A and B are shown apart, each in its own frame.
Chain A
Amino acid sequence: MDKISYIILVPMVYAAFAVLVLGVSARLVAILRTPRELQTPIYPASGAPYLRALYDSFLMPQVRRHAPVLWVFLMAFHACLLLLLIGHLELVAQMPWEKAFPHQIFLGKGFVGLILAVSLLFFLFRRFSSPVRDLSVPEDYYLLILLFLTVIFGAEMDWARNWYGYGEMGVDQYRQYLTSLVTFHPALPYEVTSAGHRFMLVLHVFFANLFLMVLPFSKIMHAFLALPVNKLRRG
């Protein structure tokens, strides 16, 4: 078990990030190096296509107009994702903004994870009903399930600290572990390997690794492509 934990927590994390970075770069280069074709925008064309594309990508006005309920969940989901990204960054090292705005690491007191989990369930159930079901392919379900598993184990660690006063494994230990990874001196603190909650961490990291490795080859590439593709519509 310890050996498996180690593999998941150390070499697999490196592998996942390598696949992520190389994969995403290769895909982006391949697409952006392809010659352009003639493409007609949707009129009235915008005077500031990049700004409009930014607006389209981040606020999704089309979804707000045509599928308002989905929009609420999509916005909640993506906003929480951003908060989580910040949370994880803060685990890696002390961020400059931490001093300016003193706050507890992982904003949202556990609710961010909850909102993510609920949104993911909403997306999943939505996929099981027509007409979205008719459009869906297996990849769509697998990705949602994988994300849900990642989120649920990650959030569980947050909930334990926030809601049940669990104190054995906390920010300091995570920070120690992640700092060791980014400085390429991997070391697992005692708590990470032996606390009662360690399997949560191991599972969280395992699913997260898988997710990062499939990302470059999945439709999650929309995270990078939303902007250039939206720009095409705006002229």
Chain B
Amino acid sequence: MKHCLVVDDSSVIRKVARRILEGYSFKISEAENGQSALALCKQAMPDGILLDWNMPVMDGYEFLSELRSLPGGDTPKVVFCTTENDVSFITRAMRAGADEYVMKPFDKEIIGSKFAEVGLI
């Protein structure tokens, strides 16, 4: 079973994302900001990360840069999932090492399509 980490400061979004991804047979763990997500990744690298941008403590962009410099940190497929829908944000995220990008609001089809795109479904 593939493991996906859902990182979002909104518990509602985490819950929705968890339900969708569990539907695609992922094992899910959750983190509410970049810092706790990073701690989880240091313990065990997930296969995929669904990542919000705007979060307190450490935002998604910072988290991604930190993650990619960790040993083994280039293996998880990172799918940004954010209301930052401007093309400049998307470009920045991709340069920082994101694999895919979901513009909120999302639904099951979109999440499925993006996780298939990065080879996790």
Are A and B genuine complex partners? no
Q: Please report B residues at the A interface, Cβ cutoff 8 Å.
A: none
